[in-house]
Amino acid sequence: MKKFIDSADTLLETSLRGFAAAHADILYLEEQPTFIRRLRRKAGKVAVISGGGSGHEPLHAGFVGTGMLDAACPGQIFTSPTPDQMLAAAEAVDGGAGVLFIVKNYAGDVMNFEMAAELLALPNASVLVSDDAALPKTHGIGRRGVAGTLVVEKIVGAAAEAGLDLAACRALGERAASVTASIGVALSSCTVPALGKPTFHLAEDEMELGVGIHGERGVATQAMAPASEICRQLCDLLAAELQVQTGQAILLHVNGFGATPLVELYAMYQLAADYWRGKQAVVARSLAGNFTTSLDMAGCSITVTLLDDELTRYWDAPVHTAALRW
Amino acid sequence: MKKFIDSADTLLETSLRGFAAAHADILYLEEQPTFIRRLRRKAGKVAVISGGGSGHEPLHAGFVGTGMLDAACPGQIFTSPTPDQMLAAAEAVDGGAGVLFIVKNYAGDVMNFEMAAELLALPNASVLVSDDAALPKTHGIGRRGVAGTLVVEKIVGAAAEAGLDLAACRALGERAASVTASIGVALSSCTVPALGKPTFHLAEDEMELGVGIHGERGVATQAMAPASEICRQLCDLLAAELQVQTGQAILLHVNGFGATPLVELYAMYQLAADYWRGKQAVVARSLAGNFTTSLDMAGCSITVTLLDDELTRYWDAPVHTAALRW
């Protein structure tokens, strides 16, 4: 393992301090318990909080700021944050209009956010994101939350900023999540610092379809293929999922897993945009880059959200965070 | 070689089209000859143009937009763009106040930009960036231009946007370049698509000090070390270069080479910020992320610019590009 670290024990803390120092105009870091909070509070709005294991940067802390998250709770790498982090974050950023948790569907995250909600006596405090189309909808613990989480956080964050109440923010988040699907492919494993070696092995002519974002194996190991074939396979899976009608406006998000350079991600974006235009969809909004990563994994995912006027308006609303700004 | 490509021949064209489509609100792509130009022109300002081999994304095309570049000329991967690209870009974006080329110091880039300037009958049309402190100042063809190029482009772009004339923009660019130094380290080689294999080999316990951004070997192959030791070595080299006085304000830029995730880059940023505070410098401005990349190389560089009020003001000025926005 070659990484810029002193030890697996200190990497996250050092990184979070660096992140907070580099973006001191937007956010700051609280420690014991650890969370990142927005610098400029806005009174009377619903507080939107997310969190999850680290190693997916810039998700979630990179989305803290005006128009998106009020706080993010980072767990250790690929490990759920603890209820005391969520509790402290909620108490710190609650502006009187309630708190909404945006939670990726992983057992640990769900359990700990639920525990925090119970301790805060907050019923209906969560939007669950489970956009990973790699797993069947009937999967025992439900589908995982992956790169589509960014879309839900952006839309809910904008709605909260605009003054929607808690029930409306939650309903909007659930609606955004319900029209969002993602599918990923890995060209390499990632290496978790505490483990020190790749979590799975791929041969030089193999790729892994349907990976999540925690270095776990996907649903199938396949022969490596040209970009346009990979793209078609991923988009076919999304098309089977989302029922895209002629003229449907979509948000197309090509997300890198951390070690895939932009030149490849924009090529995948172009191929995916061509695919959806071929399906008579309108690629109305776009995002390409490394946003929901899996440490140093090479690979990418494609996320599609079916847009309507309301979702588009909140997607377009101003956002000022470390990783998303417009 | 595992990459998201159909062929080495089509990767760049597909990627540029995807890039232009994903950022159609900011820029557009001209083909034959190829360049990226800013969508919203501003009359009467100096036109600022850069370019160079591709494979360094988001540099340079990611910096086209309000407050930074008017156009960028992408060559093939790690290959200089041709004079006809620069000529077409200059003719397209010249708003009557002159054209300034920002050129990284590589023989091909320098020659081709000079040729374009001659064809356009533009004397003194370039700012040369040669910030790579890996090579001695006495090096035959001079030092290479690396991640510090972003700093020069930002500052000159802001000055042009503010209405400074050509001579003032050029002088400012040369001044910014003269107080900027960078040094990089690679943990892996990159793989050029047309070559299909890594351009050099590093053992699992080795790193390469003083690499450029074209997959070339650096100045020394060293034993892999903890992040804080690597950081100290890089910063010591910059400190020997820049004569940082007590209380000196600096811009600290930690740049990833493409395959190094943010969690590591922010940790390096934190270690570097501590180093410079230890030298009694004031880390006044910061930027961490993958901005001047070398395809899929793992590694990073540290860039320091000595700031004064004028440089800070232009660094802070609004910018709206694909890769930098504030």
Q: What is the 3-state secondary structure (H, E, C) of A20-56?
A: HHHCCCCEEEECCCCEEEECCCCCCCCEEEEEEEECC
Report the Cα A216 to chain-centroid distance in Å.
Answer: 17
Residue A138 is predicted with a pLDDT of: 75
**Nearest CA to CA, how far is B120 from chain A (Å)?**
31
Same domain, residue pair B130 and B258:
no
pLDDT digits (tens, 9 = 90+) for B85-107: 999 999 999 999 999 999 999 99
pLDDT digits (tens, 9 = 90+) for B111-133: 999 999 999 998 878 999 999 99
- Nearest CB neighbour to A262, from listed B6, B14, B57: B57
Closest Cα in chain B to A259: B259
Residue A5 domain-assigned? no
Q: Which of B1, B189, B263, B270 to mutate to test the interface with A (most CBs of A within 10 A)?
A: B263
Question: Which listed residue (B23, B56, B60, B253) is catalytic?
Answer: B56
Is B139 one of the annotated active-site residues of the chain?
no
Of A57, A68, A110, A33, give the one whose Cα is nearest residue A320.
A68
Using the beta-carbon criterion (under 8 Å), do A16 and B187 form an inter-chain contact?
no
β-pairing verdict for A249-256 and A299-306? antiparallel
Provide the domain count of chain A.
2
Is A60 one of the annotated active-site residues of the chain?
no
**Nearest CA to CA, how far is B247 from chain A (Å)?**
18
- Nearest CB neighbour to A15, from listed B54, B224, B270: B270
Using the beta-carbon criterion (under 8 Å), do B295 and A17 form an inter-chain contact?
no
Please state, in angstroms and rounded to a whole number, the distance separating the CA atoms of residues B170 and B175: 9
β-pairing verdict for A206-209 and A180-186? antiparallel
Residues from chain A that touch B268, judged by Cβ atoms under 8 A, are 4, 18
Note which residues in 102-121 of chain A have CB less than 8 A from chain B. Answer: none
Residues from chain B that touch A3, judged by Cβ atoms under 8 A, are 187, 227, 264
Residue B115 domain-assigned? yes
Please provide the average confidence, as pLDDT, over all residues in chain B: 96
Kindly state whether A199 is in contact with chain B, defined as any CB-CB distance less than 8 angstroms. no
Q: What percent of chain B has pLDDT over 70?
A: 100
- Nearest CB neighbour to A286, from listed B21, B188, B287: B21
Please state, in angstroms and rounded to a whole number, the distance separating the CA atoms of residues A9 and A41: 32
Residues from chain A that touch B258, judged by Cβ atoms under 8 A, are 259, 261
Specify the amino acid at residue B287: L
pTM (2 d.p.):
0.97
Note which residues in 210-249 of chain A have CB less than 8 A from chain B. Answer: 224, 226-228, 230
Same domain, residue pair A65 and A97:
yes
Instruction: Tell me the backbone φ, ψ of residue A185, rounded to 5 degrees.
Output: -140, 135
Specify the amino acid at residue A271: L
Per-residue CA distances from A81 to A269, A322, B216 (Å): 32, 21, 41
Same domain, residue pair A104 and A140:
yes
Kindly state whether A267 is in contact with chain B, defined as any CB-CB distance less than 8 angstroms. yes
Same domain, residue pair A197 and A93:
no
Check which CATH number belongs to the domain holding B86 and give it: 3.40.50.10440
Same domain, residue pair B93 and B137:
yes
Provide the pLDDT confidence category of residue B236 given band limits of 50, 70 and 90.
very high
Check which CATH number belongs to the domain holding A298 and give it: 3.30.1180.20
Please state, in angstroms and rounded to a whole number, the distance separating the CA atoms of residues B126 and B292: 20
The answer, yes or no, to whether residue B61 has pLDDT greater than 80, is yes
Residues from chain B that touch A55, judged by Cβ atoms under 8 A, are 261, 263
Report the pLDDT averaged over residues B224-228. Answer: 98
Residue B167 domain-assigned? yes
Same domain, residue pair A175 and A185:
no
Using the beta-carbon criterion (under 8 Å), do A287 and B12 form an inter-chain contact?
no
Residue A243, classified by CB atoms within 10 Å of its CB into exposed (0-12), middle (13-18) or buried (19+), is exposed
Closest Cα in chain A to B12: A263
Residue A9 is predicted with a pLDDT of: 95
**Nearest CA to CA, how far is B230 from chain A (Å)?**
8
Closest Cα in chain B to A19: B266
Residue B39 is predicted with a pLDDT of: 96
Using the beta-carbon criterion (under 8 Å), do A295 and B22 form an inter-chain contact?
no
Using the beta-carbon criterion (under 8 Å), do B22 and A271 form an inter-chain contact?
no
Q: How many CB pairs under 8 A join A and B?
A: 187
Q: What is the mean pLDDT of each run of 10 residues along chain A (326 residues)?
A: 96 98 98 96 94 98 98 97 97 95 96 95 90 84 92 98 98 98 97 94 96 92 98 97 95 98 98 98 98 97 98 98 97
- Nearest CB neighbour to B263, from listed A7, A11, A286: A11
Residue A184 domain-assigned? yes
What contacts B139, CB < 8 A, 6 or more positions away? none
Residue B4 domain-assigned? no
**Nearest CA to CA, how far is A233 from chain B (Å)?**
13
Please state, in angstroms and rounded to a whole number, the distance separating the CA atoms of residues A160 and A153: 10
Q: Which of B262, B265, B291 to mutate to test the interface with A (most CBs of A within 10 A)?
A: B262
Q: B210: phi > 0 → left, psi -120 to 50 → alpha, else beta; which?
A: left
Specify the amino acid at residue A314: Y
Kindly state whether A277 is in contact with chain B, defined as any CB-CB distance less than 8 angstroms. no
Same domain, residue pair A43 and A80:
yes
Per-residue CA distances from A28 to A10, A23, A65, A67, A89 (Å): 19, 8, 10, 16, 12
Tokens 């380290």: give the residue: B185
Please state, in angstroms and rounded to a whole number, the distance separating the CA atoms of residues B55 and A5: 26
Same domain, residue pair A162 and A48:
yes
- Nearest CB neighbour to B263, from listed A55, A207, A270: A55
Of B61, B56, B48, B163, give the one whose Cα is nearest residue B106.
B56
Same domain, residue pair A224 and A87:
no
Residue B326 domain-assigned? no
Do A64 and A54 contact (CB within 8 A), yes or no? no
Provide the pLDDT confidence category of residue B41 given band limits of 50, 70 and 90.
confident
DSSP-based three-state secondary structure for A270: helix
Do A303 and A289 contact (CB within 8 A), yes or no? no
Same domain, residue pair B54 and B135:
yes
DSSP-based three-state secondary structure for B36: strand
3-state class percentages of chain B: helix first, strand second, coil last, to nearest 5: 35, 25, 40
Do A71 and A156 contact (CB within 8 A), yes or no? no
The answer, yes or no, to whether residue B26 has pLDDT greater than 80, is yes
Instruction: Tell me the backbone φ, ψ of residue A266, rounded to 5 degrees.
Output: -70, -30
Same domain, residue pair A164 and A215:
no
- Print burial letters for B207-243: b (CB count within 10 Å at least 16), e (below 16): bbbbbbbbbbbbeeebebbebbebbbebbebbbebbe
DSSP-based three-state secondary structure for B198: strand
Instruction: Tell me the backbone φ, ψ of residue B2, rounded to 5 degrees.
Output: -115, 115
Please state, in angstroms and rounded to a whole number, the distance separating the CA atoms of residues B279 and A289: 35
Range of the domain at B210: 180-308
**E strand intervals along A42-170:** 47-54, 65-66, 71-77, 99-104, 126-129
Q: For A245, which DSSP code?
A: P
Kindly state whether A14 is in contact with chain B, defined as any CB-CB distance less than 8 angstroms. yes
Residue A1 domain-assigned? no
What contacts A26, CB < 8 A, 6 or more positions away? A38, A39, A64, A65, A66, A320, A321, A322
DSSP-based three-state secondary structure for A286: strand
Kindly state whether B55 is in contact with chain A, defined as any CB-CB distance less than 8 angstroms. yes
Question: Which listed residue (B23, B60, B214, B253) is catalytic?
Answer: B214
Residues from chain B that touch A284, judged by Cβ atoms under 8 A, are none
Same domain, residue pair B267 and B166:
no
- Nearest CB neighbour to B267, from listed A4, A207, A283: A4
The answer, yes or no, to whether residue B140 has pLDDT greater than 80, is no
Structure tokens that stand for A4 in this block: 């810029």
Residue B3 domain-assigned? no
pLDDT digits (tens, 9 = 90+) for B258-309: 999 999 999 999 999 999 999 999 999 999 999 999 999 999 999 999 999 9
Note which residues in 72-101 of chain B have CB less than 8 A from chain A. Answer: 77
Provide the pLDDT confidence category of residue B136 given band limits of 50, 70 and 90.
confident
